[in-house]
Structure 1
Amino acid sequence: MKEVWLRKTGAEELVLFFSGWGMDSAPAKALFARSVEQGFRGDMVAFHDYRSPQCSAELCLAAEEYPRRTLLAWSLGVWAAGRSGVPVPHFAVAVNGTLYPRHADLGIDPAVFDATLESYSEENRVRFNRRMCGSREVLRHFTTMSSMRGAADQQEELRLIRKAISGGPAEKPTGWSYSRAIIGLKDAIFLPESQRSAWEGTGQRIVSEMPHWPFFHHSTIMELTA
């Protein structure tokens, strides 16, 4: 996976942000900038592109030094964070995702997952983004920070993610669990009923108007962790 430090000053808190499949660092940079405007003082490192499963040893060592680690993961980043090897977070939030990304009841239906992978193209990416955003207003927001990666590059990432999943049971995070799940009732990618089932026993925050793209409704770290 790729790692981008957005701020590294040795602050009290480190936010580890895992973006969704196909993304680059743009959503994390926008989230960080908006959070700083609203008074966020911590450090932040962002992850994307999960073709390789684990973070670097150097980053893990650096993260260990922080007195407080907060983990935010969106979409397929929820699964990726759980197998990344990052130090145990003190608080972890899953946003519109589960630990079972390809699962008929607890994630994305395997037929839908596989069809997305096999048919993915520049043209179908436009359709996927519309579905992810749900409305023109949210889509306009997304396009201000959409990924600059090509469709073939994104498709390769998804293919390797499917290979890692291999149809078997999802890997649970080692030594930690998610503290809360934020679920958008307008999510057309990870359906809300699947998310609710996957997070049974975990605290859930339901956002009635939120589609799969969550950063229109929650644009700061503080909103996601409140």
Structure 2
Amino acid sequence: MKTHIRRRENNKKLVIVFAGWGTDQNSFIPLCTESHDFILYYNYSADEPLVLPDRKTYSRVVLIGWSLGVWAAEYMSGSMNLNPDLAIAVNGTPIPADDRYGIPPEIFEGTLNNIDEKGMEKFNIRLFGSKSVLEVNMDKLSKRSIESYASELRWLYNRIMENPDRKYRWDIALISSNDRVFPPSNMINYWTGRKNTVLVTADLPHYPFYYWGNFDNMIKYLLEKSDLDFTYE
């Protein structure tokens, strides 16, 4: 697993993101502001040392799991002991390869077996919902190799098949109704069964972050919609 860290002196807020498949820091750095530090975990098959934040440094820690990063956050939670103040699942579930609660395995395996330049171009359009939205967000695409995409998705698939839902605490689940990667109906099937998780829906694609411009705006929006007793200050 790779780690990207962005720190600013005296920041008391930390945003931790467990990314989806096939991303890197280019997908998230444009969303950062000077008001918070940032740690990104991505490329889960990479053999690199685990880097953990100093929890005591921060008064507010927000964890965001996006896409397969929802599963990854649960998978890594036992060894990382992150204990966030607020946990947000974005367009994913802890059972990500499943006919009822995730991406149907047949589709998951089809993606796994068709990772090439043309396949990634199609995937990126689905990621942003349309070619027009993708074209104005090209700066948020990762700069990794086809080989690294294939290696990571194989690693993820093998471990997803081995590991059950660990019932990690998720405070908010954001579901995009225009998601062309993770079926919205399957996400609703899963999250309606999690009584302590507040569901928020939005007419956005699988990668919804561009809509708010930065993490601060997104977090405040979700807190307002969910009516949780939590202050992001």
Q: TM-score range by the shorter chain?
A: 0.7 to 0.9
Identity %: 31
- Residue 223 of structure 1, CA deviation: 2.7
Change (3 A) 1:223 1:130: same
Partner of 2:20: 20
TM-score (norm 2): 0.85
| Mapping 1:41-80, distance limit 5 Å | 41-51=35-45, 56=50, 58-60=51-53, 62-80=54-72
Q: What amino acid is the match of 2:69?
A: G
- Residue 141 of structure 1, CA deviation: 3.0
Q: CA RMSD in A?
A: 2.0
Note if contact 2:18-2:64 (Cα within 8 Å) is conserved in structure 1: yes
- Residue 65 of structure 1, CA deviation: 3.5
d(CA) in 1 for partners of 2:176, 2:74? 21
Change (3 A) 1:55 1:77: farther
Q: What amino acid is the match of 1:199?
A: W
| Mapping 1:1-226, distance limit 5 Å | 1-32=1-32, 36=33, 41-51=35-45, 56=50, 58-60=51-53, 62-84=54-76, 85-166=80-161, 169-173=164-168, 177-200=169-192, 201=195, 202-208=197-203, 210-226=204-220
Change (3 A) 1:212 1:31: same
- Matched length: 214
Structure 2 unaligned regions, length at least 5: 221-233
Note if contact 1:12-1:66 (Cα within 8 Å) is conserved in structure 2: yes
TM-score (norm 1): 0.87
Give deviations 1:88-123, integer Å, cap 9, x for gaps: 111011111111111111110010001100111111
Give every structure 1 segment of 4 or more consecutive aligned residues whose post-TM-superposition deviation is greater than 4 Å. Answer: 52-55
d(CA) in 2 for partners of 1:207, 1:179? 17
Note if contact 1:55-1:86 (Cα within 8 Å) is conserved in structure 2: no
- Residue 49 of structure 1, CA deviation: 0.7
